[in-house]
């Protein structure tokens, strides 16, 4: 990567490469939307608000972020990204040499604009269709796969069958799901019955079974390179901390995520065994995010327990409202609002997924996957 004032400071800790936070942010923010020659033809992105880049702008949803101060550090301003700046997938695309991947719901996402990939992620979306329904419209995992199929119908006339097969096989699919199935389903017993019907391990098993069906559907449609992101420590987000003992995360919430994350890593192993022509990578979001929370100073962070923009205890009881004044020192905050990371935290997560060791990205990282 090259850019004005761009450099990496690297030290080792516990066998894991540590990127000094300020230099990561400087590097990822100093360069344009394309950093180098594209290493893959396209990136297809499936997920929720952590990586939504504007799909919910076009839906009848309460889960939107197309207003200031969201995007206050993004060159295009508020776009529907749930952060002050770029998302993890914006930065991953940057590292892969791709332009910003456009949202599926944008009417302009058509024709040659979809050749570099499409982002289907939708705020409040989950693996289960009912997850997040109290927010209104959203593209669930099932619907996002259907939306991908619609784009395939548009892509086929643009290239020969052989070229299409190669194009899909070389492209990267990023899937990031599960957070909403917990915080906007299982952990809301007043609105959803799942916690009465399933123990935490049984619920994780339900999610993984449904997830597997759609991952295999995407494989059957031609995709061969998959990054499957685990769930981060949800018990430590400001929204959850607001109900915990001062200075503590909600331990129960973090504990019940173990069954899902361990199962997803095992699923990646199983899929790699059963589909030798494909590669399925598990991104250990929980560990990467947990390291920032446990060692914030190593990354230049000084505030780990509250949002930069929000209202109430930990600035997490009510998330960032229109024209609320955010904190000034945003690069020192891990959390932007009640639920989502700052651009600074996203930079660390993107770099560790792209270039991290097997403890971050298993069995290989995104950079290595791009070379296959």
pLDDT of amino acid 21 = 41
> How many domains does the chain contain in total?
1
* Domain CATH number, residue 180: 3.40.50.1110
Position 49 confidence tier, pLDDT thresholds 50, 70, 90: very high
> In the predicted model, is pLDDT for residue 54 greater than 90?
yes
Give buried/exposed letters for 64-94 (b at 16+ CB in 10 A, else e). Answer: bbbeebbbbbbeeebbbbbbbbbbbbbbbbb
pLDDT of amino acid 27 = 55
Give the C-alpha separation, 337 to 318, whole Å: 9
DSSP string, 283-306: E-HHHHHHHHHHSGGGGT--EEEE
Q: Residue 26 falls within a domain, yes or no?
A: no
Rounded average pLDDT over 252-281 = 98
Concerning whether 49 is annotated as a catalytic residue, the answer is: yes
Choose the catalytic residue: 181, 291, 305, 337. 337
Q: Residue 27 falls within a domain, yes or no?
A: no
pLDDT of amino acid 36 = 61
Contact assessment for residue 337 and residue 10, using Cβ atoms and an 8 Å cutoff: no
pLDDT of amino acid 189 = 98
Concerning whether 52 is annotated as a catalytic residue, the answer is: no
Position 28 confidence tier, pLDDT thresholds 50, 70, 90: low
Q: Residue 362 falls within a domain, yes or no?
A: yes
Choose the catalytic residue: 61, 181, 194, 340. 340
Q: Residue 19 falls within a domain, yes or no?
A: no
60-76: pLDDT as tens digits = 999 999 999 999 999 99
pLDDT of amino acid 322 = 97
Concerning whether 195 is annotated as a catalytic residue, the answer is: no
> In the predicted model, is pLDDT for residue 166 greater than 50?
yes
- Read off the pTM: 0.93
Give the C-alpha separation, 52 to 119, whole Å: 7
Position 3 confidence tier, pLDDT thresholds 50, 70, 90: very low
Q: Residue 119 falls within a domain, yes or no?
A: yes
Full domain range(s) for residue 144: 39-371
pLDDT of amino acid 2 = 31
Choose the catalytic residue: 49, 61, 171, 259. 49
pLDDT of amino acid 17 = 37
């Amino acid at each position: 990567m090259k850019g004005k004032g761009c450099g990496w400071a690297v030290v080792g800790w516990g066998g894991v490469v540590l990127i000094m936070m300020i230099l990561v942010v400087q590097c990822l923010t100093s360069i344009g939307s394309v950093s180098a020659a594209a290493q893959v033809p396209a990136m297809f992105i499936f997920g929720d608000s952590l990586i939504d880049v504007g799909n919910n702008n076009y839906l009848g949803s309460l889960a939107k972020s197309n207003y200031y101060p969201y995007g206050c550090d993004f060159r295009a301003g508020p776009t529907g990204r749930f952060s002050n700046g770029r998302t993890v997938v914006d930065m991953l695309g940057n590292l892969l040499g791709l332009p910003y991947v456009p949202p599926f719901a944008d009417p302009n996402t058509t024709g040659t604009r979809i050749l570099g990939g499409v982002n289907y992620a939708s705020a409040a979306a989950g693996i289960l269709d009912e997850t997040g329904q109290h927010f209104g419209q959203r593209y669930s995992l099932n619907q996002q796969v259907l939306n991908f199929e619609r784009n395939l119908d548009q892509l086929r006339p643009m290239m020969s069958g052989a070229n299409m097969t190669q194009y899909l096989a070389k492209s990267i699919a990023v899937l990031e799901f599960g957070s909403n199935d917990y915080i906007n389903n299982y952990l809301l017993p007043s609105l959803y019955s799942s916690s009465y019907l399933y123990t935490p391990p049984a619920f994780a098993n339900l999610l993984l079974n449904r997830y597997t069906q759609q991952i295999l559907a995407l494989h059957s449609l031609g995709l061969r390179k998959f990054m499957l992101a685990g769930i981060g420590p949800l018990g430590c987000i400001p929204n959850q901390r607001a109900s915990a003992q001062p200075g503590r995360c909600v331990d129960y919430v973090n504990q019940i995520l173990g069954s899902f994350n361990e199962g997803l890593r095992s699923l990646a192993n199983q899929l790699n065994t059963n589909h030798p022509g494909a590669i399925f990578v598990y991104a250990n979001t929980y560990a990467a995010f947990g390291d920032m929370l446990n060692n914030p100073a190593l990354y230049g962070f000084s505030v780990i327990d509250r949002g930069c923009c929000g209202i109430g205890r930990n600035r997490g009881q009510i998330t960032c409202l229109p024209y609320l004044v955010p904190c000034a020192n945003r690069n020192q905050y891990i959390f932007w609002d009640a639920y989502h990371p700052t651009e600074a935290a996203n930079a660390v997560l993107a770099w560790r997924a792209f270039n991290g060791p097997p403890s971050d990205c298993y069995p290989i990282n995104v950079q290595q996957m791009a070379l296959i």
